[in-house]
Amino acid sequence: MTSLLKNVISNTQINTQLVRLLHTTSVCCKVQAGRYRITPKKDFPLTYEMANPPHEIAHRKTWNSWNTSNLQGGLRSSETAVEDVFIRKFVSGTWHNLFVSEIIIKRQHNIIRVAGIVHRAINARKVYFLIGYTEELLSFWLQCPVKLELQTVADKKDVIFKYI
Amino acid sequence: MILRNLDKKCLLKTLERQFANNYATVTEAAKESREEFKALNLKHVKGQVVQKRAPRKLDVLPPRSKQMATDQDWGNVWPGPRTFHPSTVPLPIRQGYVEKGAPPDKYANAELMKIPNFLHLTPPIIKRQCEALKQFCTPWPKNLNTQEKLIENFPIEVTTSNYCLSSPSIRNPLARIVTLTIKVSSLSLKGAMDKFLRLVGERYNEKTDILTIVADRCPLRKQNYEYAMYLLTAVYHESLKVEPWENLKSEADMEYYNWEKNASKKSIEQIFGKPVEEIPNSKMYAEAVSNLMNEGESDYTIAKYGEAVRTLLNLPKTA
């Protein structure tokens, strides 16, 4: 017991000496996620989604994932989040360079609705194929009906909200 | 090392041979179209004109909303829940926030696609669906028109909850809980009320006279419902039971003081020489005595008792 006390006392003495050596800085409250820097030429295109930073969610823009898992008492929130990431990756890879908006995932009961705006860069037949392909594979993997509800634009510039 | 390298070389050679055999048929077929291939022109040497194919124009139909008749049936256009589509909805909707100027319009507006819409539930459609559902409904019994009659005829109320959620499974563990409520006065418990309340404990609400049984220990709703009903029957029959030793209950074993059955009543009758009903102010005395015995001795109960005795015996009141 005495040896322990001695140890503690000696440690506190060392600490008082160390305090002087400790260098502290003020807290850096920088947040950069989801925000875009202004370019010198002011020619960087932003969609409406990109133009509004994350703190504007539920004020100027809404969530890209709609489900009940993240509500209080919601079930299988982790599974839903992982599935959403998977859907996003699969859709953006399958529709390579075609989606001009974020991929919106809405869940109602067991249906998953994947929505978004697609650039009309490929012909209609290919679009139909890709819709069927995506729906079929996703519903096979996720074991629930998946619906792809798309809107098309002729030009990528149609979705641009502003340039910074 | 040398041996190993030799082995590798041998392997590679055999692999090459295999590939050559496999693709032999392909190469023969491709020989015919070989002349159409152009030489690779990486450095863009002059003389070789690279023909640029003009981008094929996709013919896009005009928005569907422009071809719609004004008196069309909207339920056929938008039969079920669906993400907003600007060319189908003939409404000049805008959504979004712009510091100066009008909000973005409906074309290429992702915000409108995110939010849930009720375009499939317009008032005429709801009316139509209700009409279609009417054939599966039965009329409400005419005699059950008041709340009192409902409680009288259906004293047991069973409450369960269903949960809607967005997940591939419709199961929710909270859906198993069954709450059973019953007005205790609707049970025919005459002498057994005291025993019933002792068995039931906190589940009984004195103010509303309602017994609540919550069953949530079984995994399924049906099991919980059956368990709650079992509990109710068991408690009811258990409280109706009378054991032989209960008849041995003496005055000292009583839960509360009942003046009507006690010596105090007899002694009064003896003093006055007539039954209690004919003695003036006997009711007040009875109340004072039972309060004193049931609530315990306090300044208030003792004072009340004294007052009752004085009025009963026609004694002068103290100042």
Higher pLDDT, A11 or B70: B70
pLDDT for the residue numbered B50: 64
Query: Highest-confidence range of A22-26, B3-7, B25-29, by mean pLDDT?
Result: A22-26
Mean confidence (pLDDT) of chain B: 84
Cα–Cα distance for residue pair B306/B297, rounded to 1 Å = 12
Strands (E), A12-110: 45-47, 65-66, 104-108
The greatest distance separating any two alpha carbons of chain A, rounded to the nearest whole angstrom, comes to 85
Residue B38 predicted with pLDDT over 70? yes
Tell me the residues of chain B between 127 and 186 that have a Cβ less than 8 Å away from chain A: 164-170, 172, 174
Mean pLDDT of B46-64: 75
pLDDT for the residue numbered B59: 77
Give the residue from chain A lying closest to B115, CA to CA. Answer: A62
pLDDT for the residue numbered B148: 87
Contact (Cβ atoms closer than 8 angstroms) between residue B82 and residue A139: no
Cα–Cα distance for residue pair A89/A77, rounded to 1 Å = 19
Confidence band, pLDDT 50/70/90 cuts, at residue B29: very low
pLDDT for the residue numbered B130: 96
Interface membership of B108 toward A (CB under 8 Å): yes
Residue A149 β-bridge partners:
A115
H-helix or E-strand spanning residue B220: none
H-helix or E-strand spanning residue B283: helix B282-295
Facing residue for A68 by CB, picked from B109, B110, B166: B166
Confidence band, pLDDT 50/70/90 cuts, at residue B23: very low
Give the relative orientation of helices B282-295 and B263-272 as an angle to the nearest 10 degrees. 150
Residue with tokens 């009906």, as numbered in its chain: A145
Mean pLDDT of A75-87: 93
pLDDT for the residue numbered A1: 55
pLDDT for the residue numbered B115: 92
Higher pLDDT, B295 or A14: B295
Confidence band, pLDDT 50/70/90 cuts, at residue B28: very low
Contact (Cβ atoms closer than 8 angstroms) between residue B109 and residue B86: yes
The total number of residues written for chain A in this structure: 164
Percent of chain B with pLDDT over 70: 87
pLDDT for the residue numbered B83: 94
Give the residue from chain A lying closest to B117, CA to CA. Answer: A106
**Candidate from A106-120, B216-230, B235-249 with smallest mean pLDDT:** B235-249
Cα–Cα distance for residue pair B261/B6, rounded to 1 Å = 117
Task: Give the CA count within 13 Å in the CB-facing half-sphere of B162.
Answer: 3
**Candidate from A10-19, B212-221, B239-248 with smallest mean pLDDT:** A10-19
Cβ contact, residue pair B172, A75, below 8 Å:
yes
pLDDT for the residue numbered A81: 93
Tell me the residues of chain B between 217 and 256 that have a Cβ less than 8 Å away from chain A: none
Higher pLDDT, A1 or B45: B45
Q: B162-203, pLDDT tens digit by residue?
A: 988 888 888 888 999 999 999 998 888 887 888 899 999 999
| Topology of the domain comprising B147-248 | Double Stranded RNA Binding Domain (3.30.160)
Mean pLDDT of B222-247: 93
Nearest alpha-carbon partner for A117 in A142, A93, A95: A95
Cβ contact, residue pair A110, B168, below 8 Å:
yes
pLDDT for the residue numbered B24: 43
- This prediction has a pTM of 0.68
Burial of B210 (0-12, 13-18, 19+ CB in 10 A): middle
Tell me which chain B residues have a C-beta less than 8 angstroms from the C-beta of A47.
110
Residue B258 predicted with pLDDT over 90? no
Q: B67-125, pLDDT tens digit by residue?
A: 889 889 999 999 999 999 999 999 999 999 999 989 999 999 999 999 999 999 999 99
DSSP string, A100-156: -SPPEEEEETTEEEEEEEEE--S-HHHHHHHHHHHHHHHHHHHTS-EEEEEEEESSG
Contact (Cβ atoms closer than 8 angstroms) between residue B122 and residue B130: no
Residue A13 predicted with pLDDT over 70? no
Distance from CA of B128 to the nearest CA of A (A): 23
pLDDT for the residue numbered B12: 59
Tell me which chain A residues have a C-beta less than 8 angstroms from the C-beta of B101.
none
Cβ contact, residue pair A110, B110, below 8 Å:
no
